[in-house]
Structure 1
Amino acid sequence: MLKIGIFSKLSRISVRMLRYYDSAGLLSPQMTDPFTGYRYYSEEQLPAAEQINALRQMGFGIADIARAQRQENGREQFLQLFWEKEAELSGEAREIAERLRLLRTAMDHLRKDGTMTCYNVTLKELPQRTVASVRKKIASYDCEQQLWDILMRETGPLKLEPGEPCLTLAIFHDGEYKESDVDVEVQKTVKGSYPDTENVTFKVMPAVRIASATYRGGYEKITQVNQAVADWVRENGYEFDGLSFCIYHVSPYDTADPEQYVTEVCYPVRKN
């Protein structure tokens, strides 16, 4: 039998953690002296200790490990834990990759001009157009893809003829930025007439004068573009006059690389 200190050295688990594992039912001593309270482990418990170390390094919590160990079909329980952890870590890896991309983009901007990228704002008129439209409240702006999925699914059988130009855009109907429960409408310009479907409405949109700025890159840049448009509106004697919208010239449907997105940020305006 091994005293707890020796087992601690062999297993590379601190005495404090061995005591905690015991209280959690994860790894209990082979024997505890009823008079002295000394804990003794056996050499046969070293593989179990090594398994715990490996699982902890993978990021599993003590409660999850103990629960899986208590199950009769422990192997299946651990496989389920592994699948869940793989999905969790994959999500975290994507978030980290996105943060690194944003960081590198910011570093590139600082190296080039010391501040941020400048955006060219233009005044133009978007002509009257026929559109296929889906408008719903969604959980957040990041969920906009749900609306496009509905539009594509329900109009697929109609064999829509694209408008000229063929524009895909999203209109933001809330009068403010919202953290959740956002009112968004997506539109695709079409040629001809078609019957409405369960969620898709076909309608004619009037011509509108807009101040717009087109940029390349991820959607996190929209705040900077908004500032450029707001500055232009103020400096040129215009005022905002309607709901903002984004035209997607190159979208996630076209490329998986956010740096290749091309988005036009549009604000209806009128002269003061």
Structure 2
Amino acid sequence: MFSIGDFAGLGRVSVRMLRHYDAIGLLPPAHVDQHSGYRFYTASQLKLLNRVTALKDLGFSLSEVQKLIDEKVDVGELRGMLRLRRAELEAQARKDRMRLAQVDARLRMIEIEGHMDTGDVVLKNIPPIRVAELSATATGYDHPDSITENLSPLYPRLMELMEAGGVQMTGAPIAYYLPAPTEPGDETITVHAAFPIGDAEAGDDPGFEVVVLPEIEQAATALHEGSMSEAFRTGQKIANWIDDNGYHTVEPGFAREVYLDCPPGEFDKWVTEMQVPVSR
């Protein structure tokens, strides 16, 4: 048998927590010395302690843990629950990393305020372009993770549908966003993922929309290098150029992002052209 101190060390929990587990009947010691009151545990109880700790890490309260243990959750169920929790934690970690990157980028923007070079902003005419597209609804610009989560899955799905229909893309992927409010004050947006397809026939029911993005007579454009989570850097550069050169944006805009070079998983190496419709 093991003293409570040794058992706590082996199980990587505190002695205080083991005493609490004993008090609520969740994990009583195997033996209590009648004279000294010392608690003693067996090696086999580490299995139960491991389950308790795992269920707590899943977010269950101690009363819920007690119920699950009483119901004898088997190893397979527990493994599945832990894998689900792991996936949730990994997703949250990705969101946190994205937020940290955005904070760092905005700090850099603050540091260079008043010294931003707008010399690489180019005024272009963007001809009409026929595209295949899928769309989804995102919470809004205040929640960039919502935009990413809703937009990103559209591209592989669109590629599958186009391949199934024998429709080939003829240019770089495009994204654009349009307001989609359902009530006053609602900042919901519709995100559109598109591939240029030229004059290709798409059939009667290809599973995607075929639309013609209208001509943009004048677009202020600039290349954005890096993750799109920092797109506001290039957005501010374009905004400064628009103000400095006597232009204004055109509503509803149809501002677009054209993904020129996007190595999978290497977001810091992405090259995207941002296009903002403007007029004198």
Tell me whether the two structures share a fold, i.e. TM-score over 0.5.
yes
Task: Report the 3-state secondary structure (helix = DSSP H, G, I; strand = E; otherwise coil) of the residue aligned with 2:79.
Answer: helix
- Indicate how the Cα distance of structure 1 residues 83 and 25 shifts in structure 2: closer, same or farther if over 3 A, else same: farther
**Structure 2: unaligned runs, 5 residues or longer:** 140-145
User: Aligned partners of 2:175, 2:132: CA distance in 1, in Å?
Assistant: 12
Task: Report the 3-state secondary structure (helix = DSSP H, G, I; strand = E; otherwise coil) of the residue aligned with 1:152.
Answer: helix
User: Aligned partners of 1:202, 1:59: CA distance in 2, in Å?
Assistant: 47
User: Aligned partners of 1:193, 1:89: CA distance in 2, in Å?
Assistant: 43
- Which residue matches 2:155? 148
Output the aligned Cα RMSD. Answer: 4.0
**Structure 1: unaligned runs, 5 residues or longer:** none
- Indicate how the Cα distance of structure 1 residues 10 and 175 shifts in structure 2: closer, same or farther if over 3 A, else same: closer
Task: Report the 3-state secondary structure (helix = DSSP H, G, I; strand = E; otherwise coil) of the residue aligned with 1:191.
Answer: coil
- Which residue matches 1:171? 176
8 Å Cα contact 1:249-1:263 kept in structure 2:
yes
- Which residue matches 1:214? 223
- Indicate how the Cα distance of structure 1 residues 196 and 149 shifts in structure 2: closer, same or farther if over 3 A, else same: farther
- Which residue matches 1:130? 130
- Which residue matches 2:18? 18
The 5 Å alignment of 1:226-245 reads 226-241=235-250, 242-245=253-256
> Comparing 167-176 with 218-227, which one deviates more in the overlay?
167-176
- Which residue matches 1:42? 40
Report percent identity of matched pairs: 21
8 Å Cα contact 1:118-1:228 kept in structure 2:
yes
The 5 Å alignment of 1:176-191 reads 181-191=188-198
The 5 Å alignment of 1:51-62 reads 52=49, 56=53, 59=57
Aligned positions, number? 257
1:163-187, Cα deviation, whole Å (9 max, x unpaired) = 3xx13211111189x9974212222
* Structure-2-length-normalised TM-score: 0.71
Task: Report the 3-state secondary structure (helix = DSSP H, G, I; strand = E; otherwise coil) of the residue aligned with 1:233.
Answer: helix
Residue 179 of structure 2 aligns with an amino acid whose one-letter code is D
8 Å Cα contact 1:161-1:192 kept in structure 2:
no
8 Å Cα contact 2:8-2:15 kept in structure 1:
no
- Indicate how the Cα distance of structure 1 residues 172 and 100 shifts in structure 2: closer, same or farther if over 3 A, else same: closer
- Indicate how the Cα distance of structure 1 residues 138 and 149 shifts in structure 2: closer, same or farther if over 3 A, else same: farther
- Which residue matches 1:250? 261
- Indicate how the Cα distance of structure 1 residues 115 and 175 shifts in structure 2: closer, same or farther if over 3 A, else same: farther
Q: State which of 142, 162, 165 in structure 1 corresponds to 2:169.
A: 162
Tell me how far 1:10 sits from its aligned partner. 5.1
Q: Are residues 1:87 and 2:84 paired? A: no
Tell me how far 1:32 sits from its aligned partner. 7.4
User: Aligned partners of 1:258, 1:77: CA distance in 2, in Å?
Assistant: 36
* Structure-1-length-normalised TM-score: 0.73
Structure 1 runs (4+) greater than 6 angstroms displaced:
31-34, 99-107
User: Aligned partners of 1:80, 1:227: CA distance in 2, in Å?
Assistant: 46
Residue 137 of structure 1 aligns with an amino acid whose one-letter code is T
- Indicate how the Cα distance of structure 1 residues 7 and 186 shifts in structure 2: closer, same or farther if over 3 A, else same: closer
- Which residue matches 2:143? none
Residue 213 of structure 1 aligns with an amino acid whose one-letter code is A
Residue 243 of structure 1 aligns with an amino acid whose one-letter code is F
- Which residue matches 1:75? 75
